[in-house]
Amino acid sequence: MKIALVASRFNSVIVERLVEGAKQVIEPHGSYELFWVPGALEIPVVAQKLSRTNRYQALVCLGAVIKGASDHYEHVSREVHNGVTRVSLDAGIPVAMGVLTVESMAQAFERAGGTHGNVGANAASAAVDVLKLFERVRELT
């Protein structure tokens, strides 16, 4: 399996933990390449470009959108989720969502290797599982 990780540099203290979780899951199954983007909004367009290279069987998108004083958080969260979903459907490959959308830095740490696990690892596991399922589906044809 060859998987691309698309990770946001914004909130890097959190995202680096998500990346580490994803790497640990992927390494026993294949290889990965890591692509850093400036912020969460850039994740879908870079994922789209990577999907069109046909070099990767799956993509894992990683980031952290943390609520602030304005409604900017809601707009960013919605557009990133919609964009990633669109890339997956258009490309026909797994594009796993590992972008946190939380209300506080404490919640982000809880989901980046803390008490609620690691969303990066969860997203990578989902990508690997869907790739295995794709293999089973191919065997049916």
Model pLDDT, residue 81: 96
Over the range 3-27, which residues count as b (16 or more CB within 10 Å of their CB) and which as e?
bbbbbbebbeebbebbbebbbebbe
The enclosing domain of 58 has a CATH number of 3.40.50.960
Q: In this structure, which amino acid lies at residue 90?
A: D
Q: Name the pTM for this structure.
A: 0.95
pLDDT digits (tens, 9 = 90+) for 32-54: 999 999 999 999 999 999 999 99
Contact in structure between 51 and 87 (CB atoms under 8 Å): yes
Neighbours of 30 (CB within 10 A): 13
Token look-up 């049916």 returns 140
pLDDT digits (tens, 9 = 90+) for 112-131: 999 999 999 999 999 999 99
Structural tokens at position 17: 């933990």
Q: For the chain, what is the radius of gyration of the CA atoms?
A: 15
- Residues involved in catalysis: 72
Domain that holds residue 107: 2-140
**Structural domains in the chain (count):** 1
pLDDT digits (tens, 9 = 90+) for 83-117: 999 999 999 999 999 999 999 999 999 999 999 99
